[in-house]
Structure 1
């Protein structure tokens, strides 16, 4: 089409036609050799905008955690460095080449991880109650996840920018909208974690508490309470998470 337009203009002995024909030809050659690079740069720009948005969510999570620790834990020092160190935690899962023992290994790692998190919260918020510490732990874990999202996406962004590999760039660009939805969900839950508002699985213990209705309970396992009640003429043992 471009060549046909150029031929028509050339037949009219138009200098403008010759110039346009030359420009169209150059544009076609540039597009032929640099189209993929231009597309990659465009997608990188869009990823960069989303990355800045994710960074704001990450910073919001960190700031909410710091303020909550100051309110509940009354630490003597600024807890910001400790929170920044906490959200850099990561867990390396055991290899799955040994399926017979992978569950036990994973369970051991999870127990160590949980114990470490609890000790970190105790150090950061020494004056907080047990329930407040549990809320702070959930809040810090949400902040940790936001930080992991940011670092992983930033890693692939920098890798794509450095190598200009269109396949790396396209993959992160295509899944980014779904990741943003997850990040927004975590960010929206920060205030609920801070204030101890029941969400998700925590609704179950509320139902159990209503059934118990003040009945005596006892600790039957780690962070697991149980109580006995009469319900519609039946003896019912109700178990729920501690707290």
Structure 2
């Protein structure tokens, strides 16, 4: 062991040509790192973002293909729905100005209703032979594809800006939140099959509980795709509200509650 250290020491001595060469290389590497460390770090992060961006693009393309196949299967359109699916995936909603909070909820509700109406009309045109429940499922499938497209375009936007400007702060921001975004993208991608086949997920527990509480009691439609029924629980009159179903639609519970309050005079 002592002989090894002695040999290394001899190599790195100043009068050794190899030692001078190694010291020169180390000094040069230190100078390069001193001036280009941030750029090297930025390029490394950009490379990692690019890899994940390709992954997100593959998820987006898969969702697009799944939506097109589902529309052809359930809707039986007389034309190729590819162009309409591509147009649907480019939809976006501009939220109302919220600097003046008075009335912003009503404005947002109106925009959401218009968005919902537009999506329903688009799906009805693409899948004329689909049942109402299948149309709701197709709408959910297309909205998942739309969300994946938004993820891809936003991340790509910041990636290109960071690559063009080599601004380390822009690159670091997208790089730091990328793991969380990837989890959301994977969740959307994993839900595609459920949306396509109408498999209950998430909020489906609520309608099941409501149906058990009603226990076959008659219901009436109180709002768009919302029904309500009366039952008695522990001697108390209970009004149960649930989505009409089947299909992936939650209806408009706010409108349903508002109408029931008006009918019951707020009691």
- Does the TM-score normalized on the shorter chain lie above 0.5? yes
**Secondary structure at 2:242's aligned position in 1?**
strand
TM-fit CA distance, 1:49 = 0.4
Moved more, 204-213 or 18-27: 204-213
The C-alpha deviation readout for 1:195-217, integer Å capped at 9, x for no partner, is 11121122211222333344432
Aligned residue in 2 for 1:126: 128
Aligned residue in 2 for 1:59: 61
**Secondary structure at 1:55's aligned position in 2?**
helix
Aligned residue in 2 for 1:210: 212
- Pick the aligned partner of 2:38 from 36, 46, 50: 36
Aligned residue in 2 for 1:153: 155
Distance in 1 between residues matched to 2:137 and 2:205, nearest whole Å: 15
Aligned residue in 1 for 2:141: 139
**Secondary structure at 1:21's aligned position in 2?**
helix
Aligned residue in 2 for 1:81: 83
Distance in 2 between residues matched to 1:238 and 1:32, nearest whole Å: 68
The C-alpha deviation readout for 1:45-67, integer Å capped at 9, x for no partner, is 00000001111111111111111
Distance in 1 between residues matched to 2:198 and 2:96, nearest whole Å: 33
Distance in 2 between residues matched to 1:184 and 1:134, nearest whole Å: 22
Aligned residue in 1 for 2:228: 226
Contact 1:212–1:238 (8 Å) recurs in 2: yes
Go from structure 1 to structure 2 and tell me whether the alpha carbon gap of 1:213 and 1:196 turns closer, same or farther (over 3 Å shift). farther
**Secondary structure at 1:88's aligned position in 2?**
coil
Contact 2:10–2:16 (8 Å) recurs in 1: no
- CA RMSD in angstroms, aligned pairs only: 1.9
The C-alpha deviation readout for 1:191-240, integer Å capped at 9, x for no partner, is 11111112112221122233334443221111111233455665543221
The C-alpha deviation readout for 1:4-24, integer Å capped at 9, x for no partner, is x9998344x211111111111
Instruction: Tell me the number of residue pairs that the alignment of Structure 1 and Structure 2 aligns.
Output: 238
Structure ranking higher on relative contact order (CA contacts 8 Å, 6+ apart):
1
Aligned residue in 2 for 1:9: 12
Distance in 1 between residues matched to 2:168 and 2:9, nearest whole Å: 34
Give the ranges of 4+ consecutive aligned residues of structure 1 lying more than 6 Å apart after TM superposition.
5-8
Distance in 2 between residues matched to 1:151 and 1:133, nearest whole Å: 26
Q: Please give the TM-score of this superposition, normalised by the length of structure 1.
A: 0.92
Q: Please give the TM-score of this superposition, normalised by the length of structure 2.
A: 0.84
**Structure 1: runs of 5 or more not aligned:** none
Distance in 2 between residues matched to 1:112 and 1:202, nearest whole Å: 25
Distance in 1 between residues matched to 2:166 and 2:128, nearest whole Å: 49
**Structure 2: runs of 5 or more not aligned:** 1-7, 246-267
TM-fit CA distance, 1:84 = 0.8
